[in-house]
Amino acid sequence: MSSAAAEPDFDVIVVGGGPAGSVTAYLLAQQGLSVVLIERGEAPGAKNLSGGVLYGRVLDEVFPGFAQSAPVERRITRHVTTFLTGDSSVSLDYAGGPLAEPVNAVTVLRARFDPWLAERAEEAGVFLMPGVRVDSLLREDTPAGPQVVGVRAGDDELRARVVVAADGVNSFLARSIGLRPQPPTHHLAVGVKAVVSLPRTVIEDRFAVSGDQGAAHAIVGDCTLGIGGGGFLYTNTESLSVGVVLRLDDLVKHGRTAAEVFEHYLSHPVLEPYLRGGEIVEYGSHLVAEGGLEMLGQIVTGGMVVVGEAAGLTINSGLTVRGMDLAIGSAVAAAKGIGEAIAAQDVTATGLAAYRRHLDESFVVKDLRTYARAPKFLERPRMYGAYGELAAGLFRDVFRLDGSPRKHLAAVARDSFRRSAVSVRDLVSDGWAGVRAL
């Protein structure tokens, strides 16, 4: 086929039916562009692991009032942060109305949420194409340099003015043309999670929530057997999402498997009471990019942009994993940038650079900057062992009435330090790093 003359089949091809892809496709169709959304799963969401907490502000801008119409599980009104040791725990519990209105965070199950997003795109006129795995990009040399002009799947080729790579953390598409180097392992984490079904009332009793309210627990310390990372426990309507996120290099160094750590986590005496009697209905593991701003590589090239986790957009603060909201934020920026580039009839890297500008101005890059130091901070080993011991020691002494005279809290704290493996210098250093990173 002579390429220069070949008419594109669509204005835009979006590869990947996760939040980034569906929202990009939706917003482009709303601008009147013809868009195809290609997803390898038989239905959007089919390949995506269970879900999590979605920070909903940006989605509310795309779909005002989405929390009423979308299949969200619970509105998070209670955030609990727990430091674990082998047999004890210290928690910070923040609960309050301000978290509920306007919608700050909701839990979602991807098997329900992704199809909803894709349906909105389809309603807006997007051609949904599930069950197709894109194998490669079509590229051509033009006077302006190499340009992506479409995709290939099996024997078929499809052409477009712009291709959007929304194909998730492994982004084969971005890597195939050298946009994203293989991330170093200390920028990769492995997430293992499960959905555990429990009756609604049991969840509400155990987590002290009611109605459509829910709780999000972040857990650090013994739960990961001292491996860099953390655990989470989120309430859905009639299930819990429970999992660990482990730094890949540290996991390898400790000679453990992710499944082993996950087992340990589920049976931890602090976790077990929440999960008791529940049944695992879904289980899986998945890589998470957690390099913050450092992972954000080149996201624009001639004829193609990269959005969502494919672009390296995740924040792992140690207490929360964020990716879906950043994926949606990048979708908003990409749809704007692509719309402008197509209108200006310049879909070269120069024209599509509008996407990068919109992204830089958005909360996405601002938040990545804020958390730029988080990955390094979380590489500090004390985060996962000694601090738990320290905090537990501190609170044990405060709460345990053993007949010895009560000390002032400051004195108790000092004693705890002496017993713990953490030096005051460590604490100051990590504390400072933490304040700056988080």
Partner 1 sequence: MKIVVAYKWAPNPQDADVAADGSVDLGRAKWAVSEYDPVALELARQLADATGGEVIGLTVGAAGIDTPLARKAALSRGLDRLVLVADDALDGADGTRVAAVLAAAVRGIGDVDVVLAGDSSVDVAAGQVALTLAGTLGWLGLAAVSAVRVADAGTAGLVVERELPAGTAVVSVPTPVVLAATADAVVPRVAGMKDILAAAKKPVEVLSLAELSVAEPGAVLTTLATAKPGGAERTARIFDGSDAAAAATELVGALRQSGAL
Ligand X SMILES: Cc1cc2nc3c(=O)[nH]c(=O)nc-3n(C[C@H](O)[C@H](O)[C@H](O)COP(=O)(O)OP(=O)(O)OC[C@H]3O[C@@H](n4cnc5c(N)ncnc54)[C@H](O)[C@@H]3O)c2cc1C
The footprint of partner 1 (CB under 8 A) covers 9, 38, 42-43, 46, 111, 122, 127-132, 153-158, 197, 281
Identify what 43 binds: partner 1, ligand X, none; CB under 5 to 8 Å per kind: partner 1
Give whichever of 6 and 287 is closer to ligand X, judged by the CB atom. Answer: 287
Identify what 9 binds: partner 1, ligand X, none; CB under 5 to 8 Å per kind: partner 1
Residues at the site binding ligand X, with contacts judged by CB under 6 A: 15-21, 38-41, 47-49, 52-54, 133-134, 166-168, 172, 191, 193, 243, 245, 286, 288, 308-310, 314, 321-325, 327
CB of 341 to ligand X, least distance (A): 21
Among the listed residues 265, 243, 262, 246, the one whose alpha carbon sits nearest the alpha carbon of residue 254: 246
Cβ atoms 134, 167 nearer than 8 A: yes
Identify what 191 binds: ligand X, partner 1, none; CB under 5 to 8 Å per kind: ligand X
Give whichever of 95 and 132 is closer to partner 1, judged by the CB atom. Answer: 132
Q: How far is residue 176's CA from residue 189's CA, in Å, rounded to a whole number?
A: 22
Give whichever of 133 and 419 is closer to ligand X, judged by the CB atom. Answer: 133
CB of 28 to partner 1, least distance (A): 18
Give whichever of 46 and 177 is closer to partner 1, judged by the CB atom. Answer: 46
Q: Alpha-carbon dihedral of residues 163, 176, 40, 229, nearest 10 degrees?
A: -110
CB of 306 to partner 1, least distance (A): 21
Identify what 286 binds: ligand X, partner 1, none; CB under 5 to 8 Å per kind: ligand X
Residue with the shortest CB distance to ligand X: 323
CB of 431 to ligand X, least distance (A): 26
Report strand pairing: 188-197 vs 213-221.
unpaired
Q: How far is residue 110's CA from residue 282's CA, in Å, rounded to a whole number?
A: 12
Give the DSSP letter string of 138-180. EEEEETTEEEEEEEEETTEEEEEEEEEE---TT-HHHHHTTSS
Identify what 146 binds: partner 1, ligand X, none; CB under 5 to 8 Å per kind: none
Give whichever of 157 and 346 is closer to partner 1, judged by the CB atom. Answer: 157
Q: How far is residue 415's CA from residue 393's CA, in Å, rounded to a whole number?
A: 9
Identify what 177 binds: ligand X, partner 1, none; CB under 5 to 8 Å per kind: none
The C-alpha angle 418, 421, 425, rounded to 5 degrees, equals 75
Identify what 412 binds: ligand X, partner 1, none; CB under 5 to 8 Å per kind: none
As a whole number of Å, the end-to-end CA separation of the chain is 54
Q: Which two tokens stand for residue 183?
A: 């991330």
| Burial class of 40 by CB neighbour count within 10 A (0 to 12, 13 to 18, 19+) | middle
Q: Which two tokens stand for residue 435?
A: 């304040």
